[in-house]
Amino acid sequence: MHVIVHGGAGGVPDDPEPRQAVLDEAAEAGTAEQTPLDAVEAAVKVLESDVRFNAGVGGAVQSDGVVRTDAGVMTSDREAGAVAGMDGVEHAVSVARVVAEETPHVFVAGDHAVDVAADFGVDTDVDLFTADTRTRWADADPPQGSPREHLQWLESRFGGSTSDPTADAGADEGAVTNGADLSDHDTVGAVAFDGEQFAAATSTGGRWFALAGRVGDVPQIGSGFYAAPAGAASATGAGEDIAKVTLSRRAVRHLEDGMSAQRAAETAIDEFGELTGSSAGVIVLDDEGSGSAFNSDGMQTSVAHRQN
């Protein structure tokens, strides 16, 4: 089993060593599994449970004070499942797998996705806040009232501050962009290959100070994740822009055109930057090896391989 994982594209973290150790643990957890889908689920679950990453516990908070999780999975035989907008679900990746394997659909959202999780044994009603995220939210002067009033509040917060020209408009999905640290919350993903089949998975807690109910690229097939017979990819970064250019599908298309995994990742990110001016990262796996690229300040990855 060959596994590559990422911990999100964004700022340079203040604590790279412990974050890297968790990424290494996640990649190794994936290699212990028997199928690529098992591998990406196992790897991502490790990261969803770690507060250093913006997936599961420690996720970003939306404008109504709720942490909502999203995820998607796909295999190279075109089986796919995705979920979005789940309150209280730590392991969104597992619910995405349920959608892929147990339903005739590819996407279930909101309270109904939470119901699916509960019915298939995935824990719900989990407190996804940490002490840090609870304090950060309380200090943000949360909005009241209607969506229109929420939009006025987040205008200077989501995706970069209009009042702070130094804020990063292309910050990571989990980054706080009004002067707060851009490195400590990052979308996660994994790609695996067992010699026959590929699988990809991506999971997130969304983006800080987003409008309640916002869904980014992560659970959208071809944007946050994609798998095909030529290989698979998982993306991270400025979600709206990733969705507009279908970054993961773009990377896999380059594999289909004969590029190596590394060259496909680099080309996809170069194209993304030219088209959007935003920041993102992508990991890619083909039958020859892995690749990764990013145009943000940083993106940590880990690769592990084990003969089954």
pLDDT tens for residues 16-26? 999 999 999 99
Q: Is 238 annotated for ligand binding?
A: yes
Q: Is 30 annotated for ligand binding?
A: no
If one counts every other C-beta atom within 10 angstroms of the C-beta of residue 238, the result is 30
Specify the long-range contacts of residues 241-245, CB closer than 8 Å, at least 24 apart: 241/170, 241/272, 241/275, 241/276, 241/278, 241/280, 242/216, 242/217, 242/272, 242/280, 243/216, 243/217, 244/275, 244/276, 245/271, 245/272, 245/275, 245/276
Q: Is 206 annotated for ligand binding?
A: no
Task: Output DSSP code: residue 197.
Answer: -
pLDDT of residue 11: 84
Which listed residue (187, 202, 267, 276) is catalytic? 187
Indicate if 187 belongs to the active site. Answer: yes
Q: State which fold the 2-127+185-305 domain adopts.
A: Glutamine Phosphoribosylpyrophosphate, subunit 1, domain 1 (3.60.20)
Q: Is 214 annotated for ligand binding?
A: yes
Domains of the chain by residue range: 2-127+185-305
Quote the pTM value.
0.90
Residues of the chain predicted below pLDDT 70: 159-185, 308
